[in-house]
Amino acid sequence: MRFTLLVAALAATATPALAQQVPTATDTTSATARGVVLQAHQLVKATDLDFGVVTVDPSTAGTVTISADAAGARSATGGVTPLPSSYQAASFDGLAAPGETVALTITPPPLNVLVSTTNNNDKIAVNSLNLDAGGPSRVADSTGSFTVYVGGTFGLQANQAAGVYTAQFQLTSDYQ
Protein backbone atom coordinates (compact mmCIF):
# COMPACT_ATOMS: atom_id res chain seq x y z
CA MET A 1 0.00 0.00 0.00
CA ARG A 2 2.83 2.25 0.76
CA PHE A 3 4.13 1.82 -2.80
CA THR A 4 0.72 2.65 -4.30
CA LEU A 5 0.32 5.74 -2.20
CA LEU A 6 3.79 6.93 -3.07
CA VAL A 7 3.18 6.45 -6.79
CA ALA A 8 -0.13 8.30 -6.52
CA ALA A 9 1.53 11.19 -4.66
CA LEU A 10 4.34 11.32 -7.18
CA ALA A 11 1.88 11.36 -10.09
CA ALA A 12 -0.12 14.17 -8.46
CA THR A 13 2.96 16.38 -8.12
CA ALA A 14 4.40 15.53 -11.55
CA THR A 15 1.32 16.46 -13.55
CA PRO A 16 1.44 20.26 -12.83
CA ALA A 17 5.19 20.29 -13.47
CA LEU A 18 4.78 18.58 -16.82
CA ALA A 19 2.03 21.02 -17.79
CA GLN A 20 4.29 23.96 -17.05
CA GLN A 21 7.16 22.54 -19.06
CA VAL A 22 5.17 22.14 -22.30
CA PRO A 23 6.55 24.78 -24.65
CA THR A 24 4.15 27.29 -26.29
CA ALA A 25 4.76 28.91 -29.72
CA THR A 26 5.10 32.71 -29.82
CA ASP A 27 6.55 34.79 -32.66
CA THR A 28 7.03 38.56 -32.79
CA THR A 29 7.92 40.58 -35.88
CA SER A 30 7.79 44.21 -36.98
CA ALA A 31 6.33 46.09 -39.92
CA THR A 32 6.82 49.68 -41.01
CA ALA A 33 3.87 52.05 -41.16
CA ARG A 34 4.34 54.26 -44.22
CA GLY A 35 2.45 56.78 -46.31
CA VAL A 36 3.08 59.54 -48.80
CA VAL A 37 1.62 63.01 -48.44
CA LEU A 38 1.66 65.11 -51.59
CA GLN A 39 1.33 68.82 -51.91
CA ALA A 40 -1.82 70.03 -53.55
CA HIS A 41 -1.46 69.62 -57.31
CA GLN A 42 -2.41 72.65 -59.30
CA LEU A 43 -1.97 74.37 -62.61
CA VAL A 44 -2.85 78.06 -62.77
CA LYS A 45 -2.82 80.39 -65.77
CA ALA A 46 -0.51 83.33 -65.13
CA THR A 47 -0.82 85.06 -68.54
CA ASP A 48 -2.86 84.64 -71.72
CA LEU A 49 -1.42 84.03 -75.18
CA ASP A 50 -1.62 87.36 -77.05
CA PHE A 51 -0.20 88.07 -80.50
CA GLY A 52 -0.83 91.79 -80.10
CA VAL A 53 -2.00 94.21 -82.77
CA VAL A 54 -1.26 93.48 -86.44
CA THR A 55 -2.41 94.62 -89.87
CA VAL A 56 -2.93 92.42 -92.92
CA ASP A 57 -2.28 93.39 -96.51
CA PRO A 58 -5.52 93.49 -98.54
CA SER A 59 -4.14 91.02 -101.07
CA THR A 60 -1.62 88.87 -99.16
CA ALA A 61 -2.36 86.47 -96.29
CA GLY A 62 0.24 85.72 -93.64
CA THR A 63 0.95 84.52 -90.15
CA VAL A 64 1.88 85.91 -86.76
CA THR A 65 3.84 83.75 -84.31
CA ILE A 66 4.55 84.07 -80.60
CA SER A 67 7.45 81.99 -79.29
CA ALA A 68 6.74 79.56 -76.46
CA ASP A 69 9.11 80.97 -73.86
CA ALA A 70 9.38 83.70 -71.24
CA ALA A 71 10.29 86.29 -73.89
CA GLY A 72 7.27 85.47 -76.07
CA ALA A 73 8.98 86.97 -79.14
CA ARG A 74 6.71 87.91 -82.04
CA SER A 75 7.35 87.39 -85.73
CA ALA A 76 5.22 87.71 -88.85
CA THR A 77 5.21 86.42 -92.43
CA GLY A 78 3.47 87.30 -95.69
CA GLY A 79 1.14 90.27 -95.60
CA VAL A 80 1.02 90.49 -91.78
CA THR A 81 2.70 93.51 -90.22
CA PRO A 82 3.12 93.67 -86.43
CA LEU A 83 2.29 97.05 -84.92
CA PRO A 84 3.71 98.43 -81.67
CA SER A 85 1.65 96.75 -78.94
CA SER A 86 1.96 94.30 -76.09
CA TYR A 87 2.17 90.59 -76.86
CA GLN A 88 3.18 87.52 -74.90
CA ALA A 89 3.25 83.75 -74.64
CA ALA A 90 0.75 82.14 -72.31
CA SER A 91 2.31 81.04 -69.05
CA PHE A 92 1.12 78.58 -66.44
CA ASP A 93 2.45 78.00 -62.95
CA GLY A 94 2.24 74.49 -61.58
CA LEU A 95 2.68 72.80 -58.24
CA ALA A 96 3.43 69.10 -57.74
CA ALA A 97 5.45 66.98 -55.37
CA PRO A 98 9.18 67.76 -55.54
CA GLY A 99 10.71 65.70 -58.33
CA GLU A 100 7.31 64.53 -59.60
CA THR A 101 6.90 64.05 -63.36
CA VAL A 102 4.08 65.99 -65.02
CA ALA A 103 2.72 65.12 -68.48
CA LEU A 104 1.24 68.08 -70.38
CA THR A 105 -1.35 68.13 -73.16
CA ILE A 106 -2.67 71.12 -75.11
CA THR A 107 -6.25 71.06 -76.35
CA PRO A 108 -6.70 73.70 -79.08
CA PRO A 109 -9.76 75.94 -79.27
CA PRO A 110 -12.87 74.55 -80.97
CA LEU A 111 -12.33 74.13 -84.71
CA ASN A 112 -8.79 75.56 -84.26
CA VAL A 113 -9.96 79.12 -84.72
CA LEU A 114 -10.11 82.45 -82.92
CA VAL A 115 -13.48 84.11 -83.41
CA SER A 116 -14.22 87.83 -83.72
CA THR A 117 -15.97 89.26 -80.67
CA THR A 118 -18.22 91.32 -82.98
CA ASN A 119 -18.93 88.90 -85.86
CA ASN A 120 -18.94 85.12 -85.33
CA ASN A 121 -18.31 84.60 -89.05
CA ASP A 122 -14.89 86.28 -88.87
CA LYS A 123 -12.21 83.80 -87.83
CA ILE A 124 -8.44 83.45 -87.58
CA ALA A 125 -6.89 79.99 -87.97
CA VAL A 126 -4.85 78.58 -85.11
CA ASN A 127 -2.12 76.90 -87.17
CA SER A 128 -0.38 75.55 -84.07
CA LEU A 129 -0.05 75.87 -80.33
CA ASN A 130 3.35 74.91 -78.96
CA LEU A 131 4.79 74.03 -75.57
CA ASP A 132 8.11 75.58 -74.58
CA ALA A 133 11.44 73.74 -74.90
CA GLY A 134 10.59 71.58 -71.85
CA GLY A 135 8.15 69.70 -74.08
CA PRO A 136 5.21 67.58 -72.97
CA SER A 137 6.88 66.16 -69.85
CA ARG A 138 8.22 68.09 -66.84
CA VAL A 139 9.83 67.25 -63.55
CA ALA A 140 8.88 69.57 -60.71
CA ASP A 141 11.84 71.25 -59.01
CA SER A 142 12.89 70.71 -55.39
CA THR A 143 10.08 72.97 -54.17
CA GLY A 144 7.47 71.24 -56.39
CA SER A 145 7.15 74.21 -58.76
CA PHE A 146 7.19 74.22 -62.54
CA THR A 147 6.33 76.77 -65.24
CA VAL A 148 4.99 76.10 -68.73
CA TYR A 149 4.93 78.55 -71.66
CA VAL A 150 2.66 78.15 -74.67
CA GLY A 151 3.14 79.99 -77.94
CA GLY A 152 1.47 79.66 -81.28
CA THR A 153 1.15 80.55 -84.94
CA PHE A 154 -2.01 82.16 -86.30
CA GLY A 155 -3.03 82.38 -89.95
CA LEU A 156 -4.65 85.59 -91.13
CA GLN A 157 -6.44 85.91 -94.45
CA ALA A 158 -5.77 88.68 -96.92
CA ASN A 159 -7.95 91.63 -95.96
CA GLN A 160 -8.79 90.02 -92.57
CA ALA A 161 -11.71 91.86 -90.96
CA ALA A 162 -10.70 94.27 -88.20
CA GLY A 163 -11.64 93.27 -84.67
CA VAL A 164 -10.68 91.50 -81.49
CA TYR A 165 -10.39 87.72 -81.92
CA THR A 166 -10.45 85.28 -79.04
CA ALA A 167 -10.84 81.62 -78.14
CA GLN A 168 -9.91 79.47 -75.20
CA PHE A 169 -7.52 76.56 -75.29
CA GLN A 170 -6.71 74.17 -72.49
CA LEU A 171 -3.51 72.90 -70.93
CA THR A 172 -3.94 69.67 -68.99
CA SER A 173 -1.41 68.38 -66.49
CA ASP A 174 -1.29 64.70 -65.54
CA TYR A 175 0.74 64.08 -62.38
CA GLN A 176 2.60 60.79 -62.45
User: pLDDT tens digit string along 92-130?
Assistant: 999 999 999 999 999 999 999 999 999 999 999 999 999
Q: Which of 64, 167, 54 is nearest to 113 (CA)?
A: 167
Structural domains in the chain (count)? 1
Q: Residue 59 falls within a domain, yes or no? A: yes
Give the whole-angstrom CA distance, residue 148 versus residue 137. Answer: 10
Q: Residue 19 falls within a domain, yes or no? A: no
Give the whole-angstrom CA distance, residue 131 versus residue 63. Answer: 18
The CATH number covering residue 92 comes to 2.60.40
CB atoms within 10 A of CB 26: 5
Q: What is the pLDDT of residue 5?
A: 46
Q: Residue 119 falls within a domain, yes or no? A: yes
Residue 12 phi/psi, 5-degree rounding, is: -65, -35
Q: Residue 6 falls within a domain, yes or no? A: no
Give the chain's residues under pLDDT 70.
1-22, 36-39
Q: Residue 29 falls within a domain, yes or no? A: no
Q: Residue 73 falls within a domain, yes or no? A: yes
Please report, for residues 6, 58, 116, 135, the alpha-carbon distance to residue 138 in angstroms, rounded to integers and kept in the order given. 88, 43, 34, 7
Q: What is the pLDDT of residue 20?
A: 62
Q: Residue 23 falls within a domain, yes or no? A: no
- Partnered with residue 139 across adjacent β-strands are 101
Q: What is the pLDDT of residue 36?
A: 65
Range of the domain at 105: 42-175
Q: Residue 11 falls within a domain, yes or no? A: no
